[in-house]
A and B are shown apart, each in its own frame.
Chain A
């Protein structure tokens, strides 16, 4: 059947029915109906508010997550930069030369070449006795202090000190914040809680348990 046929215009006139008798309308809506309506309104309101609350909570959670992820990304980026800086310091020619000299290695200026294919050797290989390039040997004393390791305190009173172990701090965190604080003061003012150069070394080389933000 076509839609045209279905149009209300073409619908046949409904059969006339006897007109119903007029009845007086109820004077007042039933009391129960009013209560139901109020309840409906309340439910709608509560539902709306609840929905809003849920939405807001979810948005806030996402915002928190976003900011914490951002902070984490920044922290990791900083950590990477810190490690790269440490690596760059350890791979400099000066550092390699010093390390090699420390292992008793000396430069060999006598190059020889293996020609491929064929396998003949060009140049004369010979052992060195260490007197060949002494004028290029690394200086005996280390040069300037490491500029990118500000955590090293050259004036640190002593080389042994507590590490900033987050667990230790967490366990030590007294319910009374002042107590924990005073403990820290005593450490800082007296024996010093200084991170030592060893500590810095550890930080540079690993993000292990000495890293307070790692587990904190």
Chain B
């Protein structure tokens, strides 16, 4: 008895000594690295990806949204054994494992589409040519999580193993190409993928410009696991992801669609290389529609030609032609040099520098009022009037209207255009008075003319209406700037000059928008071609506002290099007309109740 007790005690003592020694080894020596290894073994901290912010139109219509999606991968070596130890499979296991690749491939075709043979080959190729085992193969990307959930449920119901998923949210543009040039697109960044981060970033448009804010901050969940799974009583830390900021644009998707449709038709009919339509809310500076063509589908931006991915409405600078006369007249009116009745004697041609300037139609000496000059779009009459204003003032007015500088509309890649300064030559002054020898972007020109008819108050245009954090808190968006460029009286004078284009004896019934009094100006500019560094082709444009009593909506159409008919009044006007016709009732602009006045054109 005593002997047995002794043996037991000695045994216990030895065991304790061993444990103590091990304890010293683990905790005394190498304690740091052991603790870290244990922690790494015990603690899991999977990323919880932040959801990229959505982009909606002014009515909440979704333009860009991130949707839960996965990449489906497989381990072929698990698939072909169905997760069993090859040496210990029974007959049933063996039969099931042999059928696995076929069944899985069939289900993949059923749920995801694609080719049966492609899936089958990937699932059954367990080794590379040099005998390395393949443990990872990508079967499908951008699979909506819901579809994958169904597939997974079906597979587990049938008892097949070996498929895995990786979260990889997909950016979706349910409207396809609608406003694509504004929204932009996502690009795959290989460098980010190599770092193990989410590899898609904004590649163009608002997706690019707002990328940092849209992206958000990933969260993570930290918890402890044991070999049997998660430890229920273990510590859990949940760092909630901070989803990206969502943006609401000023665009109206419905109007945008109609503008794009109309523009696409116009390009087909006129053979123009490209075109732009901008619809602007005059009193708020909000861009209601901004259509450019050619365009692309951001869902498949990789397939698009690089040249169509930009936004011509802000990035293309061109010579605006006769639309510019509106701004020239605004400067003259504010300087007190022009009223609609101002009389101008217009000769057949006029010498500027060493070359003659003509009008678009030949005529002898005309006696035109300023209204007549604008209605007839007389270059000569405009030059004669503009020569009364000193060059510095003209340049300063145009600069104040926003020419020669970016508007800050919120879109990337904006061109600043080229505005000659106070030191410009006399010939340049003559030319810019009717829209040659300076360049503008469509958004610049639209905002400038909007200022002219908005009582002379320039409001910098914007396309971002509001921004909201994921918790619903509003985020400040870039503020618009305003400045008084010309007096309200001068604004009225120019509006009247523009109405003469539509309603005088010259323009009567040429540019009607039924029910509304409108004011407008067409433009046909010689087109500078960078390829030949020469003038080749034309830029046809048309700008107009309605209703004249209290202008609310501005529409500007620019067609680059139309073939056949080239006049803005011929090719750009029909686009303007149709867009205006739907835009005015759409925004509840009341019809005009007063007739336009009579205009004196000649004297």
Report B81-118 residues with CB < 8 Å from chain A CB. 92, 95-96, 98-100, 102-103, 105-107, 109-116
B110 near A82 with CB under 8 A, answer no
Contact status of A81 and B146, CB under 8 A, knowing A113-B591, A181-B99: yes
Write out, one digit per residue, whether chain B residues 425-460 have a CB within 8 A of any chain A CB (1) or not (0): 000000000000000000000000000000000000
Choose one: B107, B111, B590; the contact of A122 (CB below 8 Å): B590
Minimum distance in angstroms from B438 CB to a CB of chain A: 32
Minimum distance in angstroms from A189 CB to a CB of chain B: 6
Q: How far apart sit A74 and B114, CA to CA, in the bound complex (Å)?
A: 26
Interface segment, one of A1-9, A14-22, A27-35, A56-64 = A56-64
Task: Name which residue of chain B comes closest to A88, CB basis.
Answer: B174
Report A183-200 residues with CB < 8 Å from chain B CB. 184-185, 187-189, 192-195
Contact status of A150 and B112, CB under 8 A, knowing A63-B232, A78-B68, A92-B174: yes
Q: How far apart sit A9 and B103, CA to CA, in the bound complex (Å)?
A: 89
A195 near B590 with CB under 8 A, answer no
Q: How far apart sit A204 and B266, CA to CA, in the bound complex (Å)?
A: 36
Report B296-331 residues with CB < 8 Å from chain A CB. 297, 299-300
Contact status of A181 and B265, CB under 8 A, knowing A144-B176, A152-B113, A193-B110: no
Report B549-593 residues with CB < 8 Å from chain A CB. 574-575, 578, 581-582, 584-585, 588, 590-591, 593
Task: Name which residue of chain B comes closest to A67, CB basis.
Answer: B230
Contact status of A92 and B176, CB under 8 A, knowing A113-B591, A164-B154: yes
B147 near A82 with CB under 8 A, answer yes
Asked if B30 is at the interface of the complex by the 8 Å CB criterion, the answer is no
Minimum distance in angstroms from A15 CB to a CB of chain B: 48
B68 near A77 with CB under 8 A, answer yes
Q: Which residues of B contact A62 (CB under 8 A)?
A: 232
B142 near A150 with CB under 8 A, answer yes
Asked if B175 is at the interface of the complex by the 8 Å CB criterion, the answer is yes
Q: Which residues of A contact B67 (CB under 8 A)?
A: 81-82, 85, 148
Q: Which residues of A contact B160 (CB under 8 A)?
A: 181
Asked if A10 is at the interface of the complex by the 8 Å CB criterion, the answer is no
A79 near B146 with CB under 8 A, answer yes
Report A43-82 residues with CB < 8 Å from chain B CB. 59-60, 62-63, 74-75, 77-79, 81-82
Contact status of A133 and B103, CB under 8 A, knowing A94-B175, A113-B590, A169-B157: no
Q: Which residues of B contact A25 (CB under 8 A)?
A: none
Q: How far apart sit A60 and B231, CA to CA, in the bound complex (Å)?
A: 9
Report A63-121 residues with CB < 8 Å from chain B CB. 63, 74-75, 77-79, 81-82, 85, 88-89, 91-94, 97, 107, 109-113
A147 near B96 with CB under 8 A, answer no
Asked if B287 is at the interface of the complex by the 8 Å CB criterion, the answer is no
Q: How far apart sit A185 and B584, CA to CA, in the bound complex (Å)?
A: 61
Q: Which residues of B contact A153 (CB under 8 A)?
A: 109, 112-114
Report A164-183 residues with CB < 8 Å from chain B CB. 164, 166, 169-170, 173, 176-178, 180-182
Q: How far apart sit A173 and B114, CA to CA, in the bound complex (Å)?
A: 26
Asked if A124 is at the interface of the complex by the 8 Å CB criterion, the answer is yes
Q: How far apart sit A150 and B142, CA to CA, in the bound complex (Å)?
A: 8
Task: Name which residue of chain B comes closest to A122, CB basis.
Answer: B591
Asked if A156 is at the interface of the complex by the 8 Å CB criterion, the answer is yes
Choose one: B65, B514, B582; the contact of A88 (CB below 8 Å): B65
- Interface size class on chain B is 35 or more
Q: Which residues of B contact A24 (CB under 8 A)?
A: none
Asked if B362 is at the interface of the complex by the 8 Å CB criterion, the answer is no
A151 near B229 with CB under 8 A, answer no
Minimum distance in angstroms from A193 CB to a CB of chain B: 5
Write out, one digit per residue, whether chain B residues 540-552 have a CB within 8 A of any chain A CB (1) or not (0): 0000000000000
Task: Name which residue of chain B comes closest to A135, CB basis.
Answer: B265
Task: Name which residue of chain B comes closest to A185, CB basis.
Answer: B102
Task: Name which residue of chain A comes closest to B169, CB basis.
Answer: A81
Q: How far apart sit A138 and B264, CA to CA, in the bound complex (Å)?
A: 11
Write out, one digit per residue, whether chain B residues 140-177 have a CB within 8 A of any chain A CB (1) or not (0): 10111111011001100111100000000000111111
Q: How far apart sit A164 and B157, CA to CA, in the bound complex (Å)?
A: 12
Task: Name which residue of chain A comes closest to B298, CB basis.
Answer: A147
B515 near A148 with CB under 8 A, answer no
Task: Name which residue of chain B comes closest to A154, CB basis.
Answer: B113
B157 near A81 with CB under 8 A, answer no
Q: Which residues of A contact B154 (CB under 8 A)?
A: 164, 169, 212, 216
Contact status of A135 and B261, CB under 8 A, knowing A184-B99, A216-B153: yes
Asked if A140 is at the interface of the complex by the 8 Å CB criterion, the answer is no
Asked if B528 is at the interface of the complex by the 8 Å CB criterion, the answer is no
Interface segment, one of B239-247, B250-258, B332-340 = B250-258
Which of the listed residues B62, B99, B159 has the most CB atoms from chain A within 10 Å of its own CB? Answer: B99
Minimum distance in angstroms from B235 CB to a CB of chain A: 15
A147 near B172 with CB under 8 A, answer yes
Q: Which residues of B contact A176 (CB under 8 A)?
A: 92, 95
Choose one: A123, A166, A173, A212; the contact of B591 (CB below 8 Å): A123
Q: How far apart sit A62 and B230, CA to CA, in the bound complex (Å)?
A: 12
Asked if A143 is at the interface of the complex by the 8 Å CB criterion, the answer is yes
A150 near B174 with CB under 8 A, answer no
Minimum distance in angstroms from B149 CB to a CB of chain A: 5
Q: Which residues of A contact B114 (CB under 8 A)?
A: 153
A78 near B109 with CB under 8 A, answer no
B582 near A109 with CB under 8 A, answer yes
Asked if A38 is at the interface of the complex by the 8 Å CB criterion, the answer is no
B61 near A91 with CB under 8 A, answer yes
Choose one: B100, B146, B175; the contact of A92 (CB below 8 Å): B175
Report A123-149 residues with CB < 8 Å from chain B CB. 123-124, 132-133, 135-139, 143-144, 147-148
Choose one: B95, B96, B153, B257; the contact of A94 (CB below 8 Å): B257
Can you offer 5 A-B residue contacts whose CB atoms are under 8 A?
A62-B232, A85-B67, A133-B581, A150-B142, A211-B150
B interface with A by C-beta (< 8 Å): 61-62, 65, 67-68, 92, 95-96, 98-100, 102-103, 105-107, 109-116, 140, 142-147, 149-150, 153-154, 157-160, 172-178, 229-230, 232-233, 253-254, 256-258, 261-262, 265-266, 269, 297, 299-300, 514-515, 574-575, 578, 581-582, 584-585, 588, 590-591, 593
16 extra interface residue pairs, beta carbon distance < 8 Å, beyond A176-B92, A178-B98: A81-B144, A85-B144, A88-B172, A122-B591, A135-B266, A135-B574, A136-B578, A136-B582, A138-B261, A147-B297, A148-B299, A150-B112, A177-B95, A177-B96, A178-B92, A178-B99
